[in-house]
Structure 1
């Protein structure tokens, strides 16, 4: 039965990780990886015409290099298989963690469900997924001290944190988790200068020192702080807003919260101060910003597993493997993979991106002009047309000047200042979602001419900036 449950979770992770490469951020991450292989680590912006030369910390440089190497070796199929492998590892490690700490195969099968499904809805091919895996490994080190990784914190924690620092800015959650654990254990009577906690504290300090060895030095470690200092910008970004409980992700997160509350209410023993401190902190982070929904269930899993667990493993009356259901689960994984992998990887045949509109831009001799499009569509533009075409802005909100970001947000809102904004940045071409309010505004302005339209996008040019 344990093998069957493990197989189900592994198939879930495998299938969820091999989704279509439709994330706009991933597209410029991939392009950056190829740039690094050819030219080295970027130090300033290379993609926009509005902020050229602006200092840029490519905080996911190591993940980007991995993406580029995979793309060179096997194309989109290799990228999707890599995502599938990471998803499989997350699901398998989560199940094994719950099983080990709960001593109950049924609890191990059910407890990760709502949390991992809620987190899985924000999984994508972006480096955040690698950050989730790194956090899970760190949780194993801290919460399962008798595991192979847990017995070697001085080795595992510095390696994991160095990799995490160089693949995604969420590494701050790792250092935060370690600090919360040590503070909580101190409240429980185990100060950080004794025994196991001393080893973890030393490993954390060593990790901090090792992580300074990176292409950007202290600037890379400062990245999360610098990003959070842009609260006015983050407030307008969906993934930094509180979860909407009316969405599928919000509903699953609410179910995860309910599961945690039920476990706490029915637990035969009280949670430790450490567990309360860690759990509450990460739940508040998830309620503050929905991007943290990917991390909160990982940290909560060992806590609820211990509280809901048994003192001894549940007896299994049937020791023989469940071959028939196991074969069905594995067959599903094979058929799912065989069906999904041949499909277009980047979604260029659907309305995710302005594929036909950008072809019209090129056909009309407008490629290379000062082009305005959305931050989402800019990722596609960078991947497909850079360096021939630079963008107005993309979703690197950590890099772009605040004034430019706010100007763009005002364009999104269709505010009356749109005309002066386009004049100030000398925009010549606009590729915009057809049904968006700003596209409707341009349709009524005599200084802009419609040169292309389809069901997804419209292309406008400034009068006097047509084909050259």
Structure 2
């Protein structure tokens, strides 16, 4: 083989090596999530999130009262995720269901690319990439086309900025404040960003010399006040904070919402294995952390154990919390992985854009049928049903189809008392309560999952008959007549 021929594969390998780990991570995660794009749409709330965004675009205004239900019509309600809803609506208008899926995939890819880049400042690229992939495994169940995914990259930049400031014994830059203002317009979880300010302020005090602590505390306090003020830079002002606090005060209801339920260790999963693995590694290697970082780690673990929706916070922020202390203790050093070159980056980017266009052109992506009971809603509309008592999982699709709902995923609107009474009624824990719901709200149709006890109960109540049934939904309406025959899934 000639020297000229041998240099060709070496040049290709060199070009590949010039692409840093974070860019490979971004491309890989985006391609993976786009390939399973329907999984990103597997949440019934995506329907009403896009519907709200379209209403905002059509009316050039923000909702201040409920306009989608007949049980809370006109009640005060603010959309704390208004900007995310607008972005999802625009993405849908541009590319159909591929648009929201691609937007969620892009933000997820940016999140894990940022995590990889942050870790690569201290760790070798291979180790940083493996940690980021482990975080991806833990969070993949909650990577959905919903507003919280759009703020994950913002959270990573915000947390990293606070962490770097605390380790340098400095106050954070006020240039970070626009980030939390953007966060507050995208998703109500911005309150956690304020919690992180307090956590890293304590860490900064711990790192500082005694003579520096008073001055540093005042500067962190000023930044904290600025962050609180930035959170009010929304169309709702202070109301955004109140709306987010309202969600956290739903009490017993939170235990009935899947993503707010505590972690379940009745069977082994990735979360349990990760906890056991981390504890074992820490005991074996003798990992030592400063007290503020221990408190942060325990706080993240408590949040993940309390509500499964917080698992991504644990997976994404735990590596940041332990990164510098562990790297210092064990003498870890980052390897020089090169800089991003324009040519390979452009080729990879062009390939991903082409893949996105191909998926959009084929129109393969759509929410799963279990959240899209089209035939059942068609039957309801043909029957001219006006007041439908629906299972929670169908609320988003009913809003999408412009049918007033009994209840949907906006738990902060309906409140603990209403939804707990609703839950007990549909589960027949309160039979009289179920009959009272039918009478009090003048229900003329009931749309429930076949496994919901109230669905079977209606088969034995005079004055009600089946209008439609398949393996995912059963519709009962007032009136006499023979029950409808079961129909195939739509």
Query: What is the TM-score normalised by the length of structure 1?
Result: 0.86
The answer to whether the 8 A contact 2:190-2:231 is kept is: no
Which of 74, 83, 88 is residue 95 of structure 2 equivalent to? Answer: 74
Could you tell me which residue of structure 2 aligns to residue 372 of structure 1? 389
State yes or no: 1:281 paired with 2:295: no
Q: In structure 1, which of residues 80, 102, 114 is the aligned counterpart of residue 134 of structure 2? A: 114
Moved more, 434-443 or 1-10: 1-10
Change (3 A) 1:406 1:465: farther
Alignment of 1:278-427 (within 5 A): 278-309=296-327, 311=331, 313=333, 341=360, 342-347=362-367, 350-366=369-385, 369-383=386-400, 385-386=401-402, 389-415=403-429, 416-417=431-432, 418-427=434-443
> Cα distance, 1:336 vs. partner?
7.4
For residue 126 of structure 1, what is the aligned residue in structure 2?
Answer: 146
Q: Secondary structure at the match of 1:235?
A: helix
Alignment of 1:216-295 (within 5 A): 216-246=236-266, 251-267=269-285, 270-295=288-313
1 CA distance for matches of 2:331 and 2:293? 19
> Partner of 1:204 in structure 2?
224
- The answer to whether the 8 Å contact 2:20/2:339 transfers is no
* 8 Å contact kept, 2:203–2:292: yes
After superposition, the Cα gap between the structure-2 partners of 1:381 and 1:190, relative to the gap in structure 1 and judged at 3 Å, is farther
Higher helix share: 2
Equivalent position of 1:86 in the other structure: 107
Higher alpha-carbon deviation: 256-265 or 161-170 = 256-265
Alpha carbons 2:43, 2:371 under 8 Å: kept: no
Which digits, 9 at most, give the CA deviation of each residue in 1:205-232, with x for residues without a partner?
A: 2121122232222121122322222212
For residues 152-167 of structure 1, the aligned pairs below 5 Å read 153-156=173-176, 158-167=177-186
* Separation in structure 1 between the aligned mates of residue 350 and residue 194 of structure 2, nearest angstrom: 40
- State the match for 2:487 in structure 1: none
Query: Residues 403 and 447 (structure 1 numbering): CA distance in 2 closer, same or farther, change over 3 Å?
Result: farther
Once the two structures are TM-superposed, the CA of residue 196 in structure 1 deviates from its matched residue by 6.3
Call closer, same or farther: CA 1:15–1:255 in 2, change over 3 Å: farther
Most deviating of 263-272 and 400-409: 263-272
Q: Structure 2 CA distance, aligned partners of 1:131 and 1:216? A: 19
Whether contact under 8 Å (1:61, 1:166) holds in the other structure is yes
SS of structure 2 residue aligned to 1:42: coil
**Unpaired segments ≥5 residues, structure 2:** 1-16, 483-490
> Alpha-carbon deviation of 1:268?
6.3
Q: What CA distance in whole angstroms lies between the structure 2 residues aligned with 1:244 and 1:362?
A: 40
Conserved in 2, the CA contact under 8 Å of 1:155 and 1:203? Answer: no
CA–CA distance in 1 between the matches of 2:412 and 2:32? 28
Distance 2:75 2:460 in 1: 35
Kindly provide the CA deviation profile for residues 233-282 of structure 1, in whole angstroms up to 9, marking residues without a partner as x: 212212111112356xx712223323432453355662112211111111
What is the total number of aligned residue pairs between the two structures? Answer: 450
> 2:83–2:185: 8 Å Cα contact kept in structure 1?
yes
